[in-house]
Amino acid sequence: MKKLASNLLKKVVFPLFGIGLMYWAYHKMDMADLLNDLKSANYTWVILAFLAGVTSHFLRALRWQILIEPLGYKPRTKTTFYAVMGAYLFNFLVPRMGEVSRCVMLSQTDKVPFEKLVGTVFVERMVDLIFMIVITVAVLFFQYDMIQGLLEEYVMPHLGGAGNKVLFLGIIGLVGILGAYLAYRNRIALSKNPFLKKIYNFMSGIAQGAKSVLKLRKPGLFIFHSVAMWVLYFLMAYWIFDALDRTSHLGVAAGLTTVVMGTIAIIIPSPGGIGTYHVLVPAGLALYGVDPELGGKSFALVSHGTQMIMIFLVGGISVILASIEKKKHY
């Protein structure tokens, strides 16, 4: 029964959720305006974004190899890349299946034990989460004035003047200190709470993932691949900005915001970010003066469409080539 419910969620509910969001995002939009945006786009930049995406996934494969090598195995670069690209394809077809499928694919083509590969994927995802947190903090730092302006426009008027602003901040500070004190006093009881225990284990996993990178044989190369990967994720968004007239004026901060919003959209369980990407990314771009009904949704369609073409084209070819490699070993 539990398995049936899980299958219904993955194969029916999540896809319908994504399709519903997609319809909600575009059903009132003037299709003529959207088509004009697509026709007038500079597709040289789109091709560059496509190539940036493929390169980022190749670097992910190289980074994964570095994590696997200390286990005593040396998977081939091509089959590791096939597994990474196949994972993106399977993740689109069945949400949350990508990480499992890439471990299965590489274990079949290069005889690396499945359970050991799962551990490396966990570490990899923890490192990605750290990078995501750093980028989010960077967005907040670069856009401090904008965030402050939004608070002053929509929040502070309800607090009534500078005196109340100080009082408001003081109350937040006191609540934080009191909360920390109570948590410390009741730390033993809190440690037994199942929900808090999950949070603690999750944060502990992040810390262990970060420490494990320092124990790698090539930690510098691992960090280089990680940074280069996220730079390419940024360039995928930035170059699509240049492809469209309505977003060509956007800068680095908007690109980083798009990376954050796009990543969140992919994390939400909708196949390949369908719908979630087309709602969250235009909302993020609206902060930079881009009309979410035209510029934002045109950008989301081109950007997400480029990623989907890449996943189906390169991912599909990778699955076929991986199956050929598997037959060679059986």
pLDDT tens track for 200-240? 665 564 455 455 555 777 888 998 999 999 999 999 999 99
The region, left, alpha or beta by phi > 0 then psi within -120 to 50, assigned to residue 37 is: alpha
DSSP letter (8 states) at residue 29 = S
Whether the per-residue pLDDT at 198 is higher than 80: the answer is no
Q: Residue 169: which pLDDT band, with cuts at 50, 70 and 90?
A: low
Beta-carbon contacts of residue 269 (< 8 Å; ≥ 6 apart):
9, 10, 14, 17, 95, 96
Task: Give the pLDDT confidence score for residue 2 in this predicted structure.
Answer: 54
Do 251 and 238 contact (CB within 8 A), yes or no? no
Q: Residue 171: how many CB atoms within 10 A of its CB?
A: 10
What is the rounded CA–CA span in Å between residue 295 and residue 126?
Answer: 34
Residue 66 pLDDT greater than 50, yes or no: yes
Read off the pLDDT of each residue in 183-198 and give the average, rounded to a whole number: 62
Q: What is the pLDDT of residues 269-314, one digit of tens each?
A: 777 788 888 888 888 888 888 887 788 888 999 999 999 999 999 9
Dist CA 216 CA 67 (whole Å): 7
Question: What pLDDT is attached to residue 214?
Answer: 59
Q: What is the pLDDT of residue 171?
A: 62
Count the Cβ atoms, other than its own, within 10 Å of residue 192. Answer: 8
Higher pLDDT, 160 or 237: 237
Q: What is the mean pLDDT of residues 77-87?
A: 94
pTM of the predicted model, to two decimals?
A: 0.77
Task: Examine the pLDDT at 9 and tell me if it is beyond 80.
Answer: no
Quick one: pLDDT at residue 209? 46
The span from the CA of 199 to the CA of 204, in Å, is: 8
Among 319, 298, 99, 130, smallest CA distance to 229 is for 130
Residue 154 confidence (pLDDT) above 50 = no
Cα torsion through 228, 230, 236, 237, rounded to 10: -140
Cα(45)–Cα(107) distance, integer angstroms? 37
- Distance from the first to the final alpha carbon of the chain: 35
Structure tokens at 243: 């492809």
Mean pLDDT of the 177-187 span = 67
119 Rama sector, left if φ>0, alpha if ψ -120 to 50, beta otherwise = alpha
In this prediction, residues 35-51 reach a mean pLDDT of 91
Judged against a pLDDT cut of 90, whether residue 114 lies above it is answered with no
Percent of the chain with pLDDT over 70: 74
DSSP class of residue 13 equals I
- For residues 83 and 322, the answer to whether their CB atoms sit within 8 Å is yes
Count Cβ neighbours within 10 Å for each residue of 140-165 and write b for 16 or more, e otherwise: eebbeeeeeeeeeeeebeeeeeeeee
Is the pLDDT confidence value at 138 over 90?
Answer: no
pLDDT greater at residue 172 or residue 208: 172
Does residue 249 have a pLDDT over 70? yes
Which residue type occupies 105?
Answer: M
pLDDT of residue 98: 78
